Amino acid sequence: MNQSAVFWMVFAAIVIGWILGRFSGPKAPSRGRSSSYYEGLNYLLDGKPDGATDAFIASLDVNSETFETHLLLGNLLRKRGEVQRAIRVHVNILEHSAIQDIQKHEAHLELARDYISAGLLDRAEQLLLDLIAESSLKGVEARRYLIEIYQAERDWDKAIAMAGSLLSKRGLFQGKRHEVKGPGEQSVHVLLPHFYCELAEKRKKNGDISGAQQALASAFREDPSNVRVTLMRAQLAEGEGDFRKAIELLLNVAGQDKEFLPEVVPLFKQCAEALGQLDQYERFLRDSMQKYPSTGLVIALTDLINEREGAEAAALFLTDAMRNAASLRGLYRLMLLQLEESRSQLSSKLEVAMELMRQLTETAPGYRCQHCGFRGKHLHWFCPGCKFWGSIKPIGLIKKLN
Ligand SMILES: [Zn+2]
């Protein structure tokens, strides 16, 4: 059913509710109420539903029987983007004492959602914190919305605390590692390490290296298999000049999630160069190619062969690799190698074609979200499409069918 059909059904419900209230209720509605009801009907007949909304808010008493209708109307208004009206409807519910506590808490939560939609995050935060104190039943849902708010505000300390308090609720389930969903239905176990990583990034940027290390240690305790945590720990080790430890950490990525192997390459190379161990780097690249063939790895290996054995050997390797699985970036690199070899004999036309190729490869997406399909040029740990954490990965090679 589409949204406007639902909207009109709610109106119908309000009209019926009002009529029933008027003719069967013990007390007849006041004159003022009655006239606003007719005003609402006129708006409806004139095709001006907004005026009708206002008139009906005023005409229908809030009590336990009409509660659902009011709540539904407010939620629909929010979905239609009429947030100010939604807030009016939900506040109106809360101002009436003739409803049960559980209904009040429900309206309380919906009002907080209105404020989130309106971008009034401070107010939403206060409402949700109050709700947690008031109601254990709505506490879990309120915590999820709070995590959403802290995520949007990039307040990672608060996000971590709130995610942690969601997990502590899990203790009630016989101490088993019970799945707890955060915002967007993603498990809190997935979110929490990313929050710690964000905190570590922030601390690193402020020069607080030991603080960053502490945050990463917490992230590791939460999820020892998280690739981002491993990459960041390796970056910090490299920054401290501990290249051996960095390489040791990076070697874990293949076991954690082989699809992230291309992300390991630049740092691994840097550390191997610092240690004068390019052989180890080459072994790592060839092993990785077996585990997860991808353009990034092919090009890294081509570059290494170019450095160690020259352009001809590199072009040979790359041609062979492209025979199995062609890619735009691979093709570009191949042309570049050939250009390098015979620059003097080439016309400027080919150089122009090369420049076009370069621009093409630079705009080609190298990353894809496994959850919603979002494609991008850079690795985002938080998907802008579906708001999932850690769902974007480097794109692998697509093998030719024949
Ligand atoms: Zn996504």
Q: Is residue 386 part of a domain?
A: yes
Q: In what order do the strands lie in the sheet with 392-394?
A: 375-376, 367-369, 392-394
Please tell me the distance between residue 190's alpha carbon and the centre of ligand 1 in angstroms: 14
For residue 401, pLDDT over 50 is answered with: no
Phi, psi at residue 3, to the nearest 5°? -65, -40
Please tell me the distance between residue 380's alpha carbon and the centre of ligand 1 in angstroms: 10
In the prediction, which pLDDT does 335 show?
Answer: 76
Q: Are strands 392-394 and 375-376 parallel, antiparallel or unpaired?
A: unpaired
The number of domains in the chain is 1
Q: Is residue 374 part of a domain?
A: yes
Using the structure block, give the residue that is written with the tokens 């093709």: 331
CA distance 265 to 366: 15
In the prediction, which pLDDT does 26 show?
Answer: 42
Please tell me the distance between residue 374's alpha carbon and the centre of ligand 1 in angstroms: 5
How confident is the model over 275-304, as pLDDT tens digits?
A: 999 999 999 999 998 898 888 888 899 899
Please tell me the distance between residue 368's alpha carbon and the centre of ligand 1 in angstroms: 8
Please tell me the distance between residue 367's alpha carbon and the centre of ligand 1 in angstroms: 11
How confident is the model over 111-127, as pLDDT tens digits?
A: 999 999 999 999 999 99
CA distance 246 to 230: 9
- pLDDT-based confidence at 99, cuts 50/70/90? confident
Please tell me the distance between residue 127's alpha carbon and the centre of ligand 1 in angstroms: 30
Structure tokens, 333:
């690199």
Mean pLDDT of 79-107: 88
Short-list 400, 359, 380, 70, CA closest to 201 = 380
Residue 25 neighbours by CB under 8 Å, 6+ apart: none
- pLDDT-based confidence at 400, cuts 50/70/90? very low
DSSP secondary structure, 200-230, as one string: HHHHHHTT-HHHHHHHHHHHHHH-TT-HHHH
DSSP state of 100: -
In the prediction, which pLDDT does 213 show?
Answer: 96
For residue 402, pLDDT over 50 is answered with: no
237 CB burial (10 A radius; 0-12, 13-18, 19+): buried
Please tell me the distance between residue 39's alpha carbon and the centre of ligand 1 in angstroms: 47
Please tell me the distance between residue 50's alpha carbon and the centre of ligand 1 in angstroms: 36
Please tell me the distance between residue 377's alpha carbon and the centre of ligand 1 in angstroms: 14
CA distance 381 to 371: 13
Q: Yes or no: say if 291 and 255 are a contact pair by the CB < 8 Å rule.
A: no
CA distance 171 to 156: 23
Q: Mean pLDDT over all residues of the chain?
A: 82
In the prediction, which pLDDT does 92 show?
Answer: 87
User: Which structural domain range is residue 369 located in?
Assistant: 365-402
CA distance 302 to 394: 18
H/E stretch holding 321: helix 311-324
Please tell me the distance between residue 389's alpha carbon and the centre of ligand 1 in angstroms: 8
Please tell me the distance between residue 372's alpha carbon and the centre of ligand 1 in angstroms: 4
For residue 46, pLDDT over 60 is answered with: no
**Other beta carbons within 10 Å of 152:** 13
| Choice among 48-57, 285-294, 357-366 with the minimum mean pLDDT | 48-57
In the prediction, which pLDDT does 369 show?
Answer: 94
For residue 22, pLDDT over 60 is answered with: no
Q: Is residue 176 part of a domain?
A: no
In the prediction, which pLDDT does 2 show?
Answer: 57
Please tell me the distance between residue 82's alpha carbon and the centre of ligand 1 in angstroms: 27
For residue 348, pLDDT over 70 is answered with: no
pTM across the whole model: 0.75
Q: Is residue 111 part of a domain?
A: no
| Choice among 21-25, 307-311, 370-374 with the minimum mean pLDDT | 21-25
CA distance 170 to 164: 10
Please tell me the distance between residue 342's alpha carbon and the centre of ligand 1 in angstroms: 44
CA distance 115 to 84: 9
Please tell me the distance between residue 186's alpha carbon and the centre of ligand 1 in angstroms: 12
Q: Is residue 220 part of a domain?
A: no
Q: Is residue 390 part of a domain?
A: yes
How confident is the model over 188-201, as pLDDT tens digits?
A: 889 999 999 999 99
Using the structure block, give the residue that is written with the tokens 């016989």: 174
Residue 92 neighbours by CB under 8 Å, 6+ apart: 57, 62, 70
CA distance 267 to 237: 11
Positive/negative CA dihedral, 244, 261, 182, 369 = positive
H/E stretch holding 233: helix 227-239
Q: Is residue 395 part of a domain?
A: yes
Q: Is residue 389 part of a domain?
A: yes
CA distance 15 to 9: 10
Please tell me the distance between residue 385's alpha carbon and the centre of ligand 1 in angstroms: 5
